[in-house]
Amino acid sequence: MRNPSKIKEGAVEFSLGDWDGKVMVYSFAKMWIYLEAKGKLLFGRGFKLYGEDRELLFTLCNYIIRDEMNCRKLGIDPDKGLLLSGPVGCGKTSLIKLLRYLVPHRRPYELIPCRNIVFGFNHVGYPTISGYGNSGFYCFDDLGVEPTGRHFGKDCNVMGEILLSRYELFKNHRVMTHATTNLNAEELEDRYGNRVRSRMREMFNLVAFPNHTKDKRKQVVPACNQTK
């Protein structure tokens, strides 16, 4: 079996922890170093992880590596999907893109902006909705702020319908769905209704940035940074 403790990026090899051939013991400090390095490769040299997000990132890392003991302590279920919420610019999309690289030996999820799904529905119609009712592994980005779908004069809450389809997949086949959102629970219920919101509680672990989290896109970041 491939050694899951080593990840190579170009000529540089990163360690995520210790592997004895059977058991992988991850190191959060090493995962932090790798995620920041991978972030710079994906998003530019100005990318950095913020100490203020350390607790949240610890939760996300334990979730993605399926550390059952820490997940129990943190109150999250590794067999449910992830709903990552927080204010605009807090870094939700960047982190959800990065997390999947920690577990290259597992099937990656595809990150899709919700607005793109709605635009597809407006062009193609209901096959767009049924297309997401399959066993695909998806993360829906910016859930709740997409426009209402409209096809041949009929309005449709496209993402609400897709979430209902994904719920059936989750209940019957344990297929997980992830999502990011700027909205809180009440706003999601207003957007999709009580029925969808109730099913989202079953489908997702909610991991939230604090409401006071700053917009990181407005911060000036030096080209080179070091983590503690």
How far is it, in rounded angstroms, from Cα 10 to Cα 43?
A: 16
Residue entry with tokens 């209901």: 126
Nearest to 133 by CA among 185, 171, 101: 171
Q: Is the pLDDT of residue 191 over 60?
A: yes
Domain layout of the chain by residue ranges? 6-218
Rounded to the nearest 5°, which phi and psi values hold at 31? -65, -40
CA dist 118 and 172 (Å) reads 26
Domain 6-218's class?
alpha beta
1 — pLDDT class (breaks 50, 70, 90): low
Dist. CA 9–CA 12, nearest whole Å: 5
Q: Is the pLDDT of residue 105 over 90?
A: no
Rounded mean pLDDT of 5-21?
94
Confidence of residue 225 (pLDDT cuts 50, 70, 90): very low
Whether 6 shows a pLDDT value over 70: the answer reads: yes
Burial label, 183 (beta-carbon count in 10 A; 0-12, 13-18, 19+): middle
DSSP string, 100-115: GGG-TTSPPPEEEEHH
Confidence of residue 59 (pLDDT cuts 50, 70, 90): very high
- Give the pLDDT of residue 219: 63
* Structural tokens at position 103: 């577990």
Lowest pLDDT segment from 9-13, 101-105, 117-121, 216-220: 216-220
Convert the pLDDT of each residue in 115-160 to its tens digit: 999 999 999 999 999 999 888 999 999 999 999 999 998 999 999 9
Which pLDDT score, from 0 to 100, does residue 220 have? 45
Q: What is the mean pLDDT of the chain?
A: 92
